[in-house]
Each structure stands twice: as C-alpha cells, then as structure tokens.
A and B are shown apart, each in its own frame.
Chain A
Amino acid sequence: MKGTHLGEFEELVLLTIAALVNDAYSVAICDELAKQADRPAKLGVVHAVLNRLERKGYVKSRLGEATSVRGGKRKRYYTVTSAGKAALRRTKEVRDNLWNIIPEFSLKHP
C-alpha cells in the first residue's frame, strides 16, 4: 500500500488535529499551523493533505452543524484515528531514538 509512510508536513497536520481536539477543521488547522510552525500554510495544500490522511486511514471526518457564518455551509471536523495515533507515536520513537544516539558535542553551537 502506498503511503503508510508519514511525510513531514503530514505529521505536522496530524499533530495539529490532535492538538485542536474537537475544533479541528481545515481553516482552523491552517491558522494553528501558521501560529505554531511560523510558516504560512496554504488552504489548498492543507486540504490536499487532509484528503490524503483520510485515505491513509489516519484521520476520520464528520460534518458539523450548519451555522449562519460561512454562507450557511457546514464545517468538516477531523479526528485522529488509532492508526493515526500509532503512526504519530512510531515517528516520535524514531526521532527519540535518533536524538539519543547523537553525541553531545555535534549539536553545540559553533
């Protein structure tokens, strides 16, 4: 299966969804990413990534209630699935392991 692998940006989006808990929909994710990672996230890119994550089974989505904002259109909320959680944990483990074997001096400021 293509893409059990988690890309860097995918990881960030997945983490943001987890962080936003019950309020994770596309625009909010964009804003949060921009705030946390300090880089502008394009809606189109985020949308595509969300779509991809859903196909990989890392997130699932449901439509919210219609409100008067957004021209009466409903929001699509995302939550991280257990497979998503497992994937996040796996990546973190890989990183932690790598951090652990880095000798102290090589990351000191020159």
Chain B
Amino acid sequence: MKPRREPKPPRWAQRLLSWYCRQEILEDLEGDLNEVFDRNCRAHGAFRAKLIYCVDVIKFCRPYTVKRPDSTTLMPNWVMAGSYFKSATRNIARNKLFSAINIIGLSVGMSVGLLLIGLLTDIRSYDRFHKNRDRIYRVISQFQRHGDKGAPYMATTSPIAAREIKESVTGIEDVAIVQRGFNGDVTYGDKVVPMGGLMADESFFRVFSFSLLHGNPATALKEPFSIVLTETLAHKLFGDENPLGKVVSFWGRDYSVTGIVQDPPQFSHMDFDAVGSISTRSITEKDSPYEWLWENIWNAYAYVLLPENANPGALQKNLDELCQRRASTVSNGYYIQLGLQPMKDIVVGRNLGNQIGPYMGSTVVWVFLGMTIVVILSACFNYTNLSIARSFRRLKEVGIRKTIGAGKGNLLVQFMTESVVISLLALVFAVGIFIIIRPHFISMEYSLQQLLVMDLSPQLIGLFVLFAVFVGVAAGFFPALFFARLNAVYLFKGGSTRPPFRGITVRKILVVFQFVISIMFITGTVIIYDQYKHFLAYDLGYNTENILNIRLGDNKAHVLKNELARLPEVTEISESELVMSIGNYYSAYMKNPGDAGDSVQVYYNRVDENFLALHDFKLIAGRTFTPRSPGDSVEREVVVSAGILRRFDIGEGDPSKAIGVVVNVQNIDLEIIGVVEDFQYGRVNNGSTNEVVFRHALPGETDYVNVKLVTDDLRTTYEKIEQIWSEFDPVHPLQAKFLDDQLEEAFRGFSASVKVGGFIAILVVCIAALGLLGMVIYTAETRLREMSIRKVFGASEAGILYRLARGFILLLALAIAIALPATFLFFDRILLPEIANHAPIKWPEMVSGAVIILALAAIMILSQTAKVARAKPADVLRTE
C-alpha cells in the first residue's frame, strides 16, 4: 500500500490563527483544532474537515483570544529600526562600486519621475482657487457639417446660445458669459498701455472667485462701456491715483473704470489684464449680422454654475433639446451640438479647439506617464538584477542572521531598508538632474512654457520623498524576498555553491528588451535629427539669408522704410503681407482663363515691387511689378509661379507666352506680368502645392517690412534698428526676426523631438548598460571556478574570454536584429511617408545606434570577463 499523505489543515488558516491569537492560549487552541480536524477527516473527509477548520479559525477570533498591542511588543521594532538603518548604511559604504551604480541608475530613472510629478502637481493646481470649482461646467460646441458627428469640439460657443442657456434653461444657478479678443491699446491721458483682456457679463464675479479689490462685484460689469482693470494694469495707467470712475479710451471708445481686480493667479486657465462689460457688444456689434447667429460658435465662452448636488446629465438633456429647436435656424444643413466640460477637465482633458488659455491634452499626459513608468520599471529591474547578482557575497551574512534568530520578516525589512536608503540617496542626485533639465523641459514647447512653473515647493519635495520611498520598496522587494527565503542550513552546508535562482530567462528577455528600446531610441533620434538638418538646408527656391522681417502693427510702412533706409547696412527694403515657408497660408479662388467652369484655390502673398528682387526669386519670364504712383489704389498686375501655368495650361509650356494673359483672382482681373520658378510657399514638410500668385499690395495691405542687411555685425545692426523703432513707435516693442531664425522655429517640432528623444535615449542607454553590467558581473563571478578549472586543463585566455562573452554577444546580436529592422520599417513605412520632402534614410544613421550600443556593451563585457580570464587558478581553487 502506498503511504498516503495525511491531510493537513489549510496553511493560511493556521497562519491567520497564529497571527491573531494570544501566545498564552495559542498552543492548546491549535491542538484542539487539530484534534477536531483529524476527527472530521475520518468522519466527513478531508475537504469538509478543512472547511470546518477554516470556519472555526474565523469563529475563534474573539476578544479574549486576540492579541493586545502593548509596549513590550512595540519596543523591539524601534530597537530593530536603528539596527536596520545601521547595517544598511554599512553595506552601502562597503560596496562602493555597486552602490554607486545603483544610485546613478535609480537617480536617472527617478529624475523622469520627478518631472512627471512636477508636471502633474502643476496641472492639478489649476483653478483650485475657484470656490465653486466642482460645480462649474463650460459649454463646448461642435460644428457638424452634413451630419459629421466626429467633428472636433470647440471650447467656445455662440453668444446667443450662452444667452439662451442663461435665460431659458432651468436647473442652473448662474451662467458667466465670456468673450475673448478684448485686446489692444488702452489710453489714459498721454499714457498708452497695450493689454490683452476678456469681456464678460455681471455673473463673472459670482461664478468665478477672482477677487474684486474695489468696486461692486454685482454691478461692475453690468453697464455697457464698463471696464474692470487688474491691479498691475491700473498701476501702469494711473500710478497712485484712485482709478475708480476714471475714463479710459480703448478702440476709439470711452470706458469707465468700475472695478479693480486682483491679478489672476498663475494657476488660472484664463488670464487677462482687464475685463470689459459684454453688454458693450450689443451696442458696438448692433449692425453685425454675424454676431447673433446660432452658428457663430468661435469667440464666446459660457461657464455654467450648477446648484449643489445637481446632475449635469439633466442639463445636457436640456442642451440637446435646445440644439434640436435651433437646428432649423442654421443654413446649409449644418448642425451645432452643445456639450458640457467640467472645470477640472479644462486644463487637462479633451483636445478642444479655441482654448481660452494654456492647456495640455490628456493624451500627452498619458504618453508621458507611460514612458515614465517604463523608464522607472527598467531602473527598478536593474536594482533587482544587480542586488541578486551580488547576492552570493552576502549569503554568509544572511546565514548568520538567520542562525542568530532573524525571522523572514526581519530580513525582509532589513533589505528593504537598504534599498530605501539607496533610493533616498538617489533622490538627491535625481533632484539635481531635475533642476538641470527642468528649464529645458519647460522650454521644449510653447504651451508648456505657459502652463508650468515646477517650483520646488515643500509640498513637491514631500511628494518626491514619498516617491523615492515607493521606488525603494518596489526595487528592493524582490531581492529582499529572495534573501529572506534562503535556508540557513543550506547556506552553510553548500558553502559557496549558488542558491537555486530561477528567472534567468526572464532576465535575458528583459536585457534584450532594454537594448532593443535603447537602439531604437538612438537610431530614431539620429534619423529625426538628420531630417531636421535636411529641412533647414532645404533649397526653398529663394534666398533667405540676412533678411530681417519687422512686424508693422498699426504703423505706416513708408515712414518706417524711410527711417530704415538711412542705415548704411540696409541695402534693400520690401514689404509683404506674410512670411512664407514657415507655415502661414493665405488662399484665394482663381479662375481658369481657358475654362470658365474651372476654379482652384491658390496660395497668395501680397508684396511690393522690391520683394522678388530682395529674395532673389528666379524670374523665368517677364518682370516684376511697376512701382505705384501716389494715390493709385487699383490692383492690375500679378506674378505667378510656374506651377500655376502647369495647372491651368497657360502658354503651352512656354512661360514667355503667358505674359499678358489676364487671369481672375477673387473676382479681380489681373494681368500676368511675370513668372517665377517654383518655390516652397508652405513649410517644407507639409508638402503644399506650388500654385502660388504674388499680388501687388495696395498701401496698408502689408504686415511686414523685409530688410536685407549687409553687415558683419548683425547684433549691432539689430540694436540700431531697435533704436529707430523705439523712436518711431514708443508704445509697442519691436517685433522683428531674421527669416532664417523663423525657418528654424518653424521646425521646432523636430528639434523638440530630437531633444526629448535624445534625453530619453541617454536615460534608457544608461539603464540598459547598468543592467548588462549586472548580468556580466553575475555570470563572471558564478563561473569563476569553472573557468579556473578550464584553465588548469589548458584553456587559453582568449578561449575563456570567448566562452564567457559569447552569451552576451548573442543577446546583443538578437537585440540589434530586432531593433534595426523595426526602426527602419517604422520610419520608412509609417512616419516618413507622412512628411513631405523628407530625406531618405541613410545607412550610417541606421547603424550608428547599434555601433554605440555595441561599443558600450563591449567595454562592460570585456572589463568583467577579462578579470575572470586573467585570474590565477591557484588563487581561486585554493579553498576547494
């Protein structure tokens, strides 16, 4: 008969009992339960017995059986805490190399985590100061063309919708109607101050918690032509005078100051210098037919304040009904759908058009979160890997601790303390890295600059420390568990043999994965950088060097031109309506002169007669514009690109035959007087068409003055121009940029990707390299004995080196074999086809990542394996 295994009570129930039960009565209670269990086994079978055992254990949990915490049970924990800390610091100090590798690895990963925490803290502090924050909802609108329900939502709504919601929809407490675009120069006496503001109705101060310092919040924005100024603007205009009741001039109208509001806090999603009363618009826009149309959803905002405990779903139903009712008033079968957005989702939420202030799409946050988690997990994994790799140095320590009486729990806590101390040390470095990369991170994107501050507040530092403790626990848990589970008897009996450790394959897969990611990041960054260089060097078809574009504002071009012409460095001056090739587009309808039914949208730029020569456009036929005589305000002439001739088939392939042909551009008949070679009107990577016309600008139609400079010292010349400007327009600062700089800015998306990609590549490579180092050290030290024996039997150093490194070379080869084709396919098939005029991928770029990684890995592997290969067998084997 086979020996049958005695059925045993469930382990978890036994543990539960010994966990809660008082020591004095534990033993006989256990015994009683065992006796009953055996009896039940015989009577009812093992399953039922186990069930009864579990129920009994739970039933025995009574006041008289449960342990009471007292000072004697708590005391040893405090005593032990000191000991844990002491042995942790000693161990860190003893293994300086390992500790340094761990600290650096963790701090690199953690710095990204700190960025994320800073970002989340900042965006979560938005709009906190509004007392009614949880009850405020913004009405958002969707412009559905022909039943297109997927159209993007706008943060704006129509003024008429806002008014109707306010007046006729039930179940709401209040609605603040806000209008943007209250921008311009405000004048008081001889003081002129530019400002950007909003218009709002009298509910503004009821719904929001902007604090009004002077004036009556209930009436300040009631009357037309009232204006509430921020403290800063009021100080600029009035100095120490009392501004209330004063009259300022704006857009040629007089506004009376009815209140002073505190400057909006940094973390407010709307920013303003002044708030005008929206009732003004019913006077100024009285004759505008567009103002009160249902589909004019582009400029006004409605913020609904719901009563306490109200249901936004009910309001949404009311809005749906309102939309249905008004559908018939919209022409062309368009449909406006209104929706609601809670205030807390404004800054981080759906990607809406027409935002009132800075915002960040939630997708960006999720992507960033995902990347951070990957990097941190990678760093934690390295810690685990390295700790276990060096574990055999500490087996004796663990064995002695266990023999003296340390329980699993004690060892667990001891090793976790060590990892937490390491992660706290890493935090110090991580904060250093954080401070260094913070400005780069914030300046990466314009919206981030407006959105984030990331000040090291006490609250933020508290979060950092919490984060470090969390990382320490996460990184240290598995090594601690590994050590705690070791068997003391085994440790001494086995002497120096390795404890069984599973998971080698998992570690290999993770190392390969880390290297695949590293190679992909390096290669990808290099490829994007190459594209960036390619676009900056791209031949646009005209000259862009040393051209300064000055924004005119409301000023007269000819006055400025006369002033500038006096500078010796200025060789040529022209005017234009927009700056081309950086992503600005103006388009007009042009009719085909040969076919009345054919018309096409073409891009245009309005320029003066000097523009083409200044930019070295290549005229392939005809001439440039005739200078206008004073008082001439008729548009007659047009210069077209070769693309236009091809599109309309003018001149049958001979540009000179096109001269004199009359074409119709936006219902004006113009004579073609010149043809220029094709050039890039739009941003190069957008791939816009080459169908472009230059129109002869009428006075006042241009926005820029283009100045060609010939000088060795651009900086001094720029300062001279700034001087001329400040005499010319003392109110507004000079807005001038070199065309080459503007082109570079136009590709900021690329340079930002290169920065982010490069940064993450460095992090991932660091982490992967440290991970590999851990693996190599682990292998080298475990196989030291084997290799020594091989040497005794005559193996050469090179042979041993090869034998040790072979496995890692294979892993790296595998990583390269996965990463390179994946990167190539991703860029060649998916990303680059989306980008017009891109450069083809070259081989050196593709291989560069792999070469860097291989070189790095070779250093790691050789430094460790060479040690093993050179070790004297006598030293190693002496102790056997």
Q: Do A and B bind each other?
A: yes
Across-interface contacts of A76 in B (CB, < 8 A): 25, 28
Indicate if the CB atoms of A74 and B62 lie closer than 8 Å: no
Across-interface contacts of B254 in A (CB, < 8 A): none
Complex CA distance for A23 and B62, rounded to whole angstroms: 26
Complex CA distance for A5 and B69, rounded to whole angstroms: 31
The one of B31, B36, B56 in contact with A73, judged by C-beta atoms closer than 8 angstroms, is: B31
Indicate if the CB atoms of B34 and A70 lie closer than 8 Å: yes
In the assembled complex, B32 has its CB within 8 A of some CB on chain A = yes
- Of A41-49, A90-98, A100-108, the stretch lying at the interface with chain B is A41-49
Q: Among residues 354 to 388 in chain B, which have CB atoms less than 8 Å away from a CB atom of chain A?
A: none
Complex CA distance for A76 and B33, rounded to whole angstroms: 13
Complex CA distance for A107 and B35, rounded to whole angstroms: 43
Complex CA distance for A27 and B35, rounded to whole angstroms: 8
Number of residue pairs A-B, CB distance < 8 angstroms: 46
Complex CA distance for A83 and B294, rounded to whole angstroms: 95
The one of A43, A48, A63 in contact with B32, judged by C-beta atoms closer than 8 angstroms, is: A43
Indicate if the CB atoms of B62 and A48 lie closer than 8 Å: yes
Q: Among residues 484 to 533 in chain B, which have CB atoms less than 8 Å away from a CB atom of chain A?
A: none
In the assembled complex, B64 has its CB within 8 A of some CB on chain A = yes
**A contact residues vs B (CB 8 Å cutoff):** 25-27, 43-44, 47-48, 51, 63, 69-71, 73-76
Complex CA distance for A70 and B32, rounded to whole angstroms: 7
Across-interface contacts of B28 in A (CB, < 8 A): 25-26, 63, 73-76
Across-interface contacts of A69 in B (CB, < 8 A): 35, 38
Indicate if the CB atoms of A43 and B56 lie closer than 8 Å: yes
In the assembled complex, B540 has its CB within 8 A of some CB on chain A = no
Nearest first, the 5 A-B pairs at minimum CB distance are A73-B31, A76-B28, A70-B31, A71-B34, A70-B34
Q: Which of A63, A71, A76 has the most CB of B within 10 A?
A: A71
Across-interface contacts of A43 in B (CB, < 8 A): 32-33, 36, 56
Across-interface contacts of A63 in B (CB, < 8 A): 27-28
Indicate if the CB atoms of A74 and B31 lie closer than 8 Å: yes
Nearest Cβ distance between residue B422 and chain A, in whole angstroms?
A: 43
Across-interface contacts of A27 in B (CB, < 8 A): 32, 35-36
Q: Among residues 1 to 56 in chain B, which have CB atoms less than 8 Å away from a CB atom of chain A?
A: 25, 27-36, 38, 56
Nearest Cβ distance between residue B40 and chain A, in whole angstroms?
A: 11
In the complex, 6 of the A-B residue pairs with CB atoms within 8 angstroms, ordered by the A residue number, are: A25-B32, A26-B32, A27-B32, A43-B33, A48-B64, A73-B27
Across-interface contacts of B129 in A (CB, < 8 A): none
Indicate if the CB atoms of A47 and B27 lie closer than 8 Å: no
Complex CA distance for A26 and B33, rounded to whole angstroms: 10
Q: Which of A25, A63, A74, A76 has the most CB of B within 10 A?
A: A76
Please classify the interface of chain A as helix (H, G, I), strand (E, B), loop, or mixed, using the class held by over half of its residues.
Answer: helix
Nearest Cβ distance between residue A45 and chain B, in whole angstroms?
A: 10
Indicate if the CB atoms of A75 and B60 lie closer than 8 Å: no
Q: Which of B25, B31, B38, B62 has the most CB of A within 10 A?
A: B31
Please classify the interface of chain B as helix (H, G, I), strand (E, B), loop, or mixed, using the class held by over half of its residues.
Answer: helix
Complex CA distance for A27 and B64, rounded to whole angstroms: 19
Complex CA distance for A3 and B34, rounded to whole angstroms: 32
Question: Chain B residue with minimal CB distance to A74?
Answer: B27
The one of A25, A44, A73 in contact with B60, judged by C-beta atoms closer than 8 angstroms, is: A44
Nearest Cβ distance between residue A90 and chain B, in whole angstroms?
A: 26
Question: Chain A residue with minimal CB distance to B14?
Answer: A71
Nearest Cβ distance between residue A76 and chain B, in whole angstroms?
A: 4
Complex CA distance for A74 and B60, rounded to whole angstroms: 18
In the assembled complex, B829 has its CB within 8 A of some CB on chain A = no
Across-interface contacts of B34 in A (CB, < 8 A): 70-71, 73
Question: Chain A residue with minimal CB distance to B26?
Answer: A73
Q: Among residues 51 to 79 in chain B, which have CB atoms less than 8 Å away from a CB atom of chain A?
A: 56, 59-60, 62, 64
Complex CA distance for A74 and B59, rounded to whole angstroms: 21
Indicate if the CB atoms of B60 and A71 lie closer than 8 Å: no
Complex CA distance for A75 and B30, rounded to whole angstroms: 10
Across-interface contacts of A25 in B (CB, < 8 A): 28, 32
Indicate if the CB atoms of B31 and A47 lie closer than 8 Å: no
Indicate if the CB atoms of B31 and A75 lie closer than 8 Å: yes
Indicate if the CB atoms of A44 and B31 lie closer than 8 Å: no
Q: Which of B25, B28, B35, B56 has the most CB of A within 10 A?
A: B28
Nearest Cβ distance between residue A80 and chain B, in whole angstroms?
A: 18
Indicate if the CB atoms of B31 and A71 lie closer than 8 Å: yes
Question: Chain A residue with minimal CB distance to B31?
Answer: A73
Across-interface contacts of B36 in A (CB, < 8 A): 27, 43
Question: Chain A residue with minimal CB distance to B8?
Answer: A71
Indicate if the CB atoms of B30 and A47 lie closer than 8 Å: no
Indicate if the CB atoms of B35 and A44 lie closer than 8 Å: no
Question: Chain A residue with minimal CB distance to B60?
Answer: A44
Complex CA distance for A66 and B667, rounded to whole angstroms: 111
Nearest Cβ distance between residue A101 and chain B, in whole angstroms?
A: 39
Complex CA distance for A76 and B25, rounded to whole angstroms: 9
Across-interface contacts of A73 in B (CB, < 8 A): 27-28, 30-31, 34
Indicate if the CB atoms of B35 and A47 lie closer than 8 Å: no
Nearest Cβ distance between residue A70 and chain B, in whole angstroms?
A: 4
Nearest Cβ distance between residue A25 and chain B, in whole angstroms?
A: 8
Query: Known contacts A27-B35, A51-B64, A70-B35; is A44 also within 8 Å of B59 by CB?
Result: yes
Q: A48-B64, A70-B38, A73-B28 are in contact. List 16 more A-B contacts (CB 8 A).
A: A26-B28, A27-B32, A27-B36, A43-B33, A43-B36, A43-B56, A44-B59, A44-B60, A47-B29, A47-B60, A69-B35, A70-B35, A73-B30, A73-B31, A74-B27, A75-B28
Nearest Cβ distance between residue A104 and chain B, in whole angstroms?
A: 46
Nearest Cβ distance between residue A59 and chain B, in whole angstroms?
A: 14
Across-interface contacts of A48 in B (CB, < 8 A): 62, 64
Across-interface contacts of B29 in A (CB, < 8 A): 47
Question: Chain B residue with minimal CB distance to A45?
Answer: B59
Question: Chain B residue with minimal CB distance to A51?
Answer: B64
Question: Chain B residue with minimal CB distance to A31?
Answer: B39
Complex CA distance for A56 and B622, rounded to whole angstroms: 121
Question: Chain B residue with minimal CB distance to A70?
Answer: B31
Complex CA distance for A48 and B25, rounded to whole angstroms: 12
Across-interface contacts of A70 in B (CB, < 8 A): 31-32, 34-35, 38
Across-interface contacts of A51 in B (CB, < 8 A): 25, 64
Nearest Cβ distance between residue A28 and chain B, in whole angstroms?
A: 10
Complex CA distance for A25 and B35, rounded to whole angstroms: 12
Complex CA distance for A26 and B56, rounded to whole angstroms: 14
Nearest Cβ distance between residue A16 and chain B, in whole angstroms?
A: 16
Q: Which of A44, A51, A73, A76 has the most CB of B within 10 A?
A: A73
Nearest Cβ distance between residue B28 and chain A, in whole angstroms?
A: 4
Across-interface contacts of B27 in A (CB, < 8 A): 63, 73-74
